[in-house]
Amino acid sequence: MGAPSWRDPRLLVGLLLVTGSVVLGSVVVERAQDTTTVWGLAHAVGAGQRLEAADLTVVQVRLDPATAQRYLATDVSADEAVGAGAVALRGLGAGELLPRGSIGRAEDLAARPVTVPVEGTVPPGVAVGSLVDLWVVPAPVPGALAAEGTGEPPAPDRLVAAAEVAAVVTGGGALASRAGADVQVLVPQDALPAVLQAVTADDDLVLVPVPGSAPGGGA
């Protein structure tokens, strides 16, 4: 059998298939290398904390155009991205892309930071950006148990569920006034009276981490 002629339809089909594969592969590689530069967080920032240009870093990501619109691109400077007096409206983790809706003014915050004293070490899972339930264990009133005849201490009460941690300061920090740590928790305004009363009383306040809410997915 002789060598196939260049006019052989099978040869032409083969050449078309090879050419199409090369072109398609080039397009796929080119699109895979097409990235967008957006602003991200250089470190964790708690809700309510001031945002400055030094808090941002350039991140290269592959995003479709619709998704990319949700984040602040580097076509504006870091100073323009955060603006004067800007604060984080929610906790932002280190390396997280900067969503447009996560920046605002202090008056836009729906909650208020309250410092909760923690004796000893901070519970695992309590970190900036994590969520905690705030419980109060009322201090027994001397003679009250005997008068009631129950012999049982007051039951714990949950004051706030899933409150965001805005700051954690260990002993010697700006917020800490004793050994241990101070944890700044964002409290909804309707829960402020009960929380402030518990903070100023002799009651024990306990922070219970919400599993899976810590930055990086830890408990």
Check residue 24 and give its pLDDT.
Answer: 65
Residue 14 pairs in a beta bridge with none
Pair of tokens at residue 66 = 């619709």
Residue 164: φ, ψ to 5°: -85, 140
Using an 8 Å Cβ cutoff, are 159 and 194 in contact?
Answer: yes
Closest alpha carbon to 45 in 133, 127, 134, 161: 127
Residue 74 lies in a domain: yes
| Nearest CA-CA partner of 135 in 69, 184, 204 | 204
**Residue 21 included in any domain:** no
In the prediction, which pLDDT does 19 show? 72
Domain that holds residue 86: 36-107
Residue 70, in any domain of the structure: yes
140 and 205 fall within a common domain: yes
168: phi then psi, degrees, rounded to nearest 5: -130, 120
- 90 and 133 in a common domain: no
Indicate if the pLDDT at residue 143 is higher than 50: yes
Average of per-residue pLDDT across 203-212 = 90
- Examine the pLDDT at 32 and tell me if it is beyond 70: no
Dihedral in degrees, nearest 10, Cα atoms 167, 114, 109, 132: 60
Which domain-ending residue is among 107, 133, 167?
107
The C-alpha angle with vertex 28 and arms to 23 and 29, in degrees rounded to 5, equals: 100
Residue 146 has pLDDT above 50, yes or no: no
48-104 pLDDT, tens per residue?
A: 888 899 999 999 888 888 888 899 889 889 998 888 888 888 888 888 899 988 888
Chain Cα centroid distance, residue 121:
22
- pLDDT single digits (tens) 115-142: 998 888 888 889 888 899 999 988 776 6
In a domain, 31, yes or no: no
- Assess whether 129 and 78 both reside in one domain: no
Q: Which residue has the higher pLDDT, 202 or 189?
A: 189
Number of domains the chain contains: 2
- Residues 121 and 57 occupy one common structural domain: no
| Token pair for 22 | 């090369």
Distances (CA, A) of 126 to 83, 171, 173: 30, 16, 17
Task: Answer yes or no: is 53 within a domain.
Answer: yes
| pTM: predicted TM-score of the whole model, two decimal places | 0.62
> Beta strands 131-137 and 204-209: pairing type?
antiparallel
* Pair 44, 65 in one domain: yes
Give the integer Cα–Cα distance in Å for 131 and 208.
9
The predicted structure's pLDDT at residue 85:
84
CATH of the domain at 84: 3.90.1210
Residue 141 confidence (pLDDT) = 66
Residue 191's pLDDT is 94
Q: Does 157 share its domain with 85?
A: no
User: Amino acid letter at 82?
Assistant: V
**Bridge partners (DSSP) listed for residue 41:** 56
Return the structure tokens found at 130.
């994590």
Residue 17 within any structural domain of the chain: no
Q: Of 91, 107, 123, which residue sits at a domain end?
A: 107
Domain boundary (78, 107, 136) is at 107
* Percent of the chain scoring above 70 in pLDDT: 74
* Residue carrying the six token digits 């007051």: 154
Residues 197 and 159 in one domain: yes
Q: Has residue 13 been placed in a domain?
A: no
Report d(CA 99, CA 93) in Å as an integer. Answer: 12
The mean pLDDT value of the chain amounts to 80
Amino acid at 195: V
Which range in 17-31, 156-170, 205-219 is most confidently predicted, on average pLDDT?
Answer: 156-170
